[in-house]
Amino acid sequence: MAASNWFRFQTLSSKMLALSLLPVVLFILFFGAYVLPTLHGSVMRAKEEGIRQVVDLGLTLLQEQEAQVQAGKRSLETAQARGKEIIENLRYDGTNYLWIQSPGPRIVGHGVRREWAGKATDGLGDPALVKLFRDLEKVALAPAGGFHEYQFAKPGTQGLFPKLSYVKTFAPWGWTVGTGVYVDDVDRQVRNTALIMLGGILLVSVLVFFLARTIARRMVRPLHLLVEGLRNSDLSRQIPVTVEDEIGEAAKAFNAYNGGMRKTVQDVAEFALRVASGSTELAASADQMSQAVAEIAKVSEDLKSAGERVSESMQGLGSNAAKVAMRTQEAETRSQDVVRETDRSAQAGQGTARGMSDIQEVTGQIVEAVTVIQDIARQTNLLSLNAAIEAAKAGAMGKGFAVVAEEVRKLAERSGTAAQEIEALILRTQQVVSGGVHSVDTTLASLEAIRERISGVATTITDIGGLSRQQADTGQEVAGMMAQTTDRLAQNASATHELASTVQEIAKTSEELARVAEGLRAVVQGFKL
């Protein structure tokens, strides 16, 4: 855990020191991964270039001998002997030498082992040497020659050391000229160079470390003051400005920020007080609005219910008015029929009155006839009496006539009686007819009055029908308007419920504002102004 915290660089000083040493570490890694291999390669290339130039020099010397042979100044044997001598005596870097070998392989000349001259490599008695010269012969077959690295004994030491050889064929004579150098000194040179560079890097690292620590202390001290002030919520603290660099500018900026923050906190404190007061007033207003909205909702519900009842009533009224209009239409038709029937009854009554008058006139004539019959009956009775008297006077001869006279008398009596009855009946009939005529006249007058009243009633019914139709239309319109009003009242009720919800939200918001204001006041009280 401690190691983990150490690698986290929790302090600014450790981070700055780590950042200052990071380039050094990266350079060391770069030096080990790239510079050292590159340096090693450069030294090896220098070695290769050096021994190649030495071999090229030997080949040039042999080429001069070949030129003399071509010029006829020397024989081939003399030239080859001279060339062999030159190569064997050639030295560089103190003790380094060249050798010559021919296909076979066979040693033509050797700068150190002169006794090998003219011997085949198989006769050297060392299988490693045999293999080495065979490998060198194969490498030399390349037109530009080639390099071969191997392990070889170093004079005056024990063991084998790495050695690099370069061989190239001199085509005119079929010789292969080669030389080699030990390359164990390459690693030594690279190691010495690396140690020198690492020493310089370490020295620079130490200087950078102390410089970074000094700078970090200058930066951290104001930051410590800043952190202490922030930890204690002390907005009255000012960081002393002792330098004019970026740290000084940061201190000035913090002091300016601290002053602005102090003013902001003061404004926030004042704002929190206003918010608390406003939230209290808002809560009171929200309560009043809630009560008002509740009353509005109740009134809206009552109006909606009343509107629905009125709408139903108006629909029923419209339906009833339509029925009344239909019934008044029927009544109007019937009243017109009654007027026509009354007219016909009046006409019939007038005919009856005329008939009654005719009956009265006829009965008068009948009375006159009855009177005549009564007179005839009286006269006949008198005649029968006279005839009876005469028959009595006539005796037996007049007996039959007396019987007839008696029958005539009886008939005259019955005729008189019947005439009296008829007269009485006619008198009653005349009375009845007179009453009937009076009744008919009264009836005609009543029928006329009834006709006029029925005509007035028909006119009134017609007016009532029109008014009923208008009332039905008006009722339908009023019902539609009441339906719209009911819908609007329903919408108003819904809006009222939404308004009530909004008022509740406002009340909650005011409570939340009060809590926020109280929280702001608590936060502001935590600052030292």
* Phi/psi at 163 (5° precision): -140, 145
> In the block, which residue shows the tokens 């906190």?
265
How far is residue 194's CA from residue 43's CA, in Å, rounded to a whole number? 13
The secondary element (H helix, E strand) that includes residue 107 is strand 106-110
Please write the tens of the pLDDT for every residue from 292-345.
667 766 756 766 676 667 566 656 656 665 675 677 677 667 767 766 776 776
DSSP code of 32? I
Burial 372-410 (b: 16+ CB within 10 A, else e): ebbeebeebbebbeebbeebeeeeeebeebbeebeebbe
> In the block, which residue shows the tokens 């983990």?
4
Burial zone of 446 (CB within 10 Å; 0-12 exposed, 13-18 middle, 19+ buried): middle
Tens of pLDDT along the chain (529 residues)? Answer: 444 454 455 566 666 667 766 776 776 776 667 667 787 778 888 889 999 999 999 999 999 999 999 999 999 999 999 999 999 999 998 889 999 999 989 999 999 999 999 898 888 888 999 999 999 999 999 989 999 999 998 888 888 899 999 999 999 999 999 999 998 877 787 788 878 877 888 888 788 777 877 776 776 676 666 667 667 666 676 777 666 766 677 667 777 877 777 777 777 777 667 767 766 776 676 677 667 667 766 756 766 676 667 566 656 656 665 675 677 677 667 767 766 776 776 676 676 667 667 766 766 776 677 677 777 777 777 877 777 787 677 666 666 667 766 776 777 677 778 767 777 776 776 676 677 667 667 766 766 776 676 677 567 667 756 766 676 676 677 667 667 766 776 676 676 677 677 767 777 777 777 787 777 777 666 666 6
How far is residue 12's CA from residue 3's CA, in Å, rounded to a whole number? 17
Domains and CATH numbers, the chain: 30-200 (3.30.450.20), 289-525 (1.10.287.950)
3-state DSSP of 264-282:
HHHHHHHHHHHHHHHHHHH
CB 53 within 8 A of CB 145: no
How far is residue 39's CA from residue 21's CA, in Å, rounded to a whole number? 24
The pair of three-digit structure tokens given for residue 490, joined into one six-digit string: 């329903």
DSSP code of 527? S
3-class DSSP state for residue 240?
coil
